[in-house]
Structure 1
């Protein structure tokens, strides 16, 4: 796994899978107050809330859609390539 995007995608998928199964992890065990919105890293259909193009969670139409976000433990978003704490203009 020499490609940084592959490493980040694998790490993010692991965090999401562990949280979906209800298993604690060092990064996913943060309480809701320690969560932040991370734009531009959600996989298609896995966003947490509305986007500019739709009004429902889980309806992002493409991977890494800039206006779609997922909630991540505070401090995680800045470490993910393409992640942004700011919504794109117009949101």
Structure 2
């Protein structure tokens, strides 16, 4: 493989990664965290209680402390809670 093809491939790969990061950032902006709707093993990140810190570690369906991203404005329709509502429910 010629040097110019290697350089071109590397440049294309670097530019592609930048486009992917930008698309992910835009996508995240159109979403919100929705608590209490994640199924076991299907949460998006750490929970409110601190018992786990990674995606996919929810141990029960619809645990109030676990969340997943949903399209902005659709959380209530899915039966979910905002962060404040989930924290208040956990305090009870």
Cα RMSD, aligned residues only: 1.7
Question: In the TM superposition, what is the alpha-carbon distance from 1:31 to its structure 2 partner?
Answer: 2.7
Larger helix fraction of residues:
2
The corresponding residue for 1:40 is 36
Question: What is the TM-score with the length of structure 1 in the denominator?
Answer: 0.59
Structure 2 gap ranges (5+) = 1-25
Structure 1 gap ranges (5+) = 1-29
State the Cα deviation string for residues 1-60 of structure 1 (Å, max 9, x = none).
xxxxxxxxxxxxxxxxxxxxxxxxxxxxx8321100000000000000011221111100
Runs (4+) off by over 4 Å = none
Provide the aligned length of Structure 1 versus Structure 2. Answer: 60
Are 2:81 and 1:84 equivalent residues in the alignment?
yes
State the Cα deviation string for residues 58-79 of structure 1 (Å, max 9, x = none).
1000000101000000011011
Question: What is the TM-score with the length of structure 2 in the denominator?
Answer: 0.58
Return the alpha-carbon distance in structure 1 between the equivalents of residues 27 and 35 of structure 2: 20
Return the alpha-carbon distance in structure 2 between the equivalents of residues 31 and 61 of structure 1: 27
Are 2:71 and 1:73 equivalent residues in the alignment?
yes
